[in-house]
Amino acid sequence: RPTIGVLALQGDVAEHLRVLDTLDVHTAEVISPDQLDTVDGLVLPGGESTTMSKLAVRYGLLEPLRKRVRAGMPAYGTCAGMIMLADRVEGAVEGQETVGGIDMTVRRNAFGRQTESFEASVDIDGLDGAPFDALFIRAPWVERTGPEVTVLGSVPGPDGAGRIVAVRQGGLMATSFHPELTGDARIHRLFVDLVKGHA
């Protein structure tokens, strides 16, 4: 059984652990480089990406995270975690760092005031069964993707144009929404399969 870590600097850590604990994996909170060494894959939770970035620097985790991602550790980011895995961020604050790894540009708080929080049904590539009931909370969307990135799902934005909200690049996955909050473990299972080398 692989060990899946959840980056526990800030954000909805407990919710991710709760879902992962229903799957066939060991789980661990990660707030130190030593803890990072013990995991086979890492979930970066939702929360607030500028705070997460600052804390990653303060805890000496930013460089170790970059190193492990570069070395091929699978990782899955939700919302603020998606921002952390992006190579480029629109709407970043001064000094905001990311781990990077996914060749994409994400726009923070992209869905705007009217729809800061909403639910939508999303068809996710690679998921069997019904569309995924996705919860968005001040969510980013993906503006641009590089050639190595596969788009897994989109939703209509405020103007009706399709906006990318789920992507994969090799062992890295990211979603704008929060599957840890809606009681459907299929996306976490997809990530666990990826860590086990089955996806």
| Closer of 46 and 153 to ligand GLN (Cβ) | 46
Question: How is residue 47 written in tokens?
Answer: 């929360």
| Closer of 34 and 157 to ligand GLN (Cβ) | 157
The 8-class DSSP code of residue 32 comes to: S
Identify the active-site residue in 26, 29, 63, 180: 180
CA–CA gap between residue 169 and residue 69 (Å, rounded):
12
Indicate which single residue of 49, 98, 169, 175 sits in contact with ligand GLN (rule: CB under 6 A): 49
Active site residue 116: no
Active site residue 188: no
CA–CA gap between residue 50 and residue 95 (Å, rounded):
9
Is 90 an interacting residue with respect to ligand GLN (CB under 6 A)?
Answer: no
Total residues contacting ligand GLN by CB under 6 A comes to 11
Active site residue 15: no
Q: Which residues are registered as beta bridge partners of 3?
A: 26
Is 137 an interacting residue with respect to ligand GLN (CB under 6 A)?
Answer: yes
Q: Considering only residues 29 through 48, tell me which ones interact with ligand GLN, judged by CB under 6 A.
A: 46-48
Contacts of 37 (CB under 8 A, 6+ apart): none
CA atoms within 13 A of residue 171's CA, in its CB half-sphere: 17
Q: How big is the CA angle at 112 (ends 107 and 118), to the nearest 5 degrees?
A: 105
Contact 80, 11 (CB under 8 A): yes
Contact 118, 136 (CB under 8 A): yes
Indicate which single residue of 79, 135, 174, 194 sits in contact with ligand GLN (rule: CB under 6 A): 79
Is residue 29 a known part of a binding site?
Answer: no
Is residue 49 a known part of a binding site?
Answer: yes
Q: Which stretch binds ligand GLN (CB under 6 A): 23-31, 77-85, 118-126, 159-167?
A: 77-85
Residues placed in the known binding site: 47-49, 108, 137-138
Binding site for ligand GLN (CB under 6 A): 46-49, 79-80, 83, 108-109, 137-138
Residues with a catalytic annotation lie at 79, 178, 180
